[in-house]
């Protein structure tokens, strides 16, 4: 069955399973002759497990129906189920989350029917996958202020306000923000100091549309590393406000930049880091890229593809 491109498994987040536009999109794909099966998640970890089952069943395509966290879980399951990129099903994205940062940056349609048509009618492109410890990320790993905002934004607020929920949470957290002392090193790169924001990108944006890694490409074998150093005394609130409105683009002259196949981050204290919105923590973390680890359905003119 793996050689049959019409065999599709959709792993959909439970909160989106009842949407009528999703059901209509699945019906339309089946009407075009595709064998579409749908699995619904119940709790954390289900999407990765269901993706692994799809690999064992020999299905050609696994579609992540949800937000960036669901995409991360499905990618994790595909990577875990097979050590060979050639044996892994292609991955598609049905953007049904709060921010859908990876889908936005890739140019994947937000309409479920159009997104699923991209999967059924398109051709998957080889993409890189980031790794840190035993975890993977497809989009962006973030540390510092952006991570704090993502972790502290209530799910109910995201449900009602969408990506604006991150902005509201960020505005309410100004007084509790602290810079984090750390050191980073990679091939030909060394930096040490206190940072306000750290972004390590395979993709470009996170936290509800903030462009953190503008030069990232998903198929160039490199991570786009961006560091916003600790601001001068008295500039913290102004810096945070500019970051929430414009992302790291507001600090182009002072942001530390590097493009690396791997980078190690060390701190005396445990660091909280988000991988596609999924939290991890540690005092020493190594981020590295695995080139061409997955095949993903994205528009042929996606700005995240190296030509």
pLDDT at 277: 80
Query: Which is the CATH superfamily of the domain at 7-122?
Result: Probable inorganic polyphosphate/atp-NAD kinase; domain 1 (3.40.50.10330)
75: nearest Cα among 295, 303, 289, 224: 295
β-pair type (278-296, 210-211): unpaired
Mean pLDDT across 137-147: 82
Mean pLDDT across 136-162: 63
Find tokens 């409105």 and name the residue.
245
pLDDT at 271: 85
Q: What CATH fold (topology level) applies to the domain 136-290?
A: Tumour Suppressor Smad4 (2.60.200)
Rounded to whole angstroms, the maximal C-alpha distance in the chain is 63
Percentage above 70 pLDDT, the chain = 80
CA distances from residue 121 to 78, 92, 106 in whole angstroms, order as listed:
22, 12, 17
Instruction: Assess whether pLDDT exceeds 90 at residue 247.
Output: no
73 is catalytic: no
Active-site residue identified among 43, 152, 264, 278:
278
Instruction: Assess whether pLDDT exceeds 60 at residue 176.
Output: no
What average pLDDT does the chain have?
Answer: 85
Worst-scoring range by mean pLDDT, 3-7, 84-88, 148-152, 183-187?
148-152
pLDDT at 171: 37
Query: Would you call 227 exposed, middle or buried from its count of C-beta atoms within 10 A (0-12, 13-18, 19+)?
Result: buried
pLDDT, one tens digit per residue, over 59-72 is 999 999 999 999 99
Mean pLDDT across 16-34: 95
Q: In whole angstroms, give the CA distance from residue 230 to residue 236.
A: 8
pLDDT at 244: 60
Worst-scoring range by mean pLDDT, 1-15, 140-154, 187-201, 248-262?
140-154
pLDDT, one tens digit per residue, over 94-115 is 999 988 999 999 999 999 999 9
Mean pLDDT across 81-85: 77
pLDDT at 272: 85
Instruction: Assess whether pLDDT exceeds 50 at residue 165.
Output: no
pLDDT at 172: 40
Query: Would you call 291 exposed, middle or buried from its count of C-beta atoms within 10 A (0-12, 13-18, 19+)?
Result: middle
**Domain parsing of the chain, residue ranges:** 7-122, 136-290
Q: Do domains 7-122 and 136-290 have the same CATH topology?
A: no
Count the neighbouring beta carbons within 10 Å of the beta carbon of residue 98. Answer: 22
Alpha helices in 110-209 (DSSP H): 112-121, 145-152, 155-161, 164-172
pLDDT at 177: 54
């Amino acid at each position: 069955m793996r050689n049959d491109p019409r065999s599709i498994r959709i792993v959909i987040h439970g909160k989106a399973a009842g949407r009528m536009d999703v059901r209509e999109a699945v019906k339309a794909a089946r009407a075009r002759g595709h064998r579409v099966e749908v699995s619904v998640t119940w709790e954390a970890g289900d999407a990765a497990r269901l993706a692994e089952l799809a690999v064992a069943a020999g299905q050609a395509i696994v579609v992540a129906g949800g937000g960036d966290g669901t995409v991360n879980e499905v990618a994790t399951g595909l990577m875990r189920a097979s050590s060979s990129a050639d044996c892994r099903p292609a991955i598609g994205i049905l953007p049904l989350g709060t921010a859908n940062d990876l889908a936005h940056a890739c140019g994947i349609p937000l309409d479920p029917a159009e997104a699923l048509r991209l999967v059924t009618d398109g051709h998957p492109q080889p993409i890189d996958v980031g790794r840190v410890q035993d975890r993977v990320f497809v989009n962006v790993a973030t540390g510092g202020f952006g991570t704090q905002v993502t972790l502290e934004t209530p799910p109910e607020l995201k449900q009602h306000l969408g990506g604006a929920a991150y902005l509201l949470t960020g505005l309410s957290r100004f007084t509790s923000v602290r810079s984090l002392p750390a050191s980073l090193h990679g091939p030909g790169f060394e930096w040490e100091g206190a940072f306000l924001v750290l972004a390590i990108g395979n993709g470009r944006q996170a936290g509800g549309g903030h462009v953190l890694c503008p030069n990232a490409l998903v198929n160039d074998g490199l991570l786009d590393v961006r560091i916003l150093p600790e601001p001068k005394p008295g500039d913290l609130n102004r810096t945070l406000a500019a970051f929430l409105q414009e992302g790291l683009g507001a600090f182009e002259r002072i942001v530390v930049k590097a493009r690396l196949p791997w980078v190690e981050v060390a701190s005396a204290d445990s660091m909280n880091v988000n991988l596609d919105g999924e939290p991890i923590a540690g005092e020493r973390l190594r981020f590295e890229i695995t080139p061409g680890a997955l095949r993903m359905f994205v528009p042929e003119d996606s700005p995240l593809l190296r030509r």
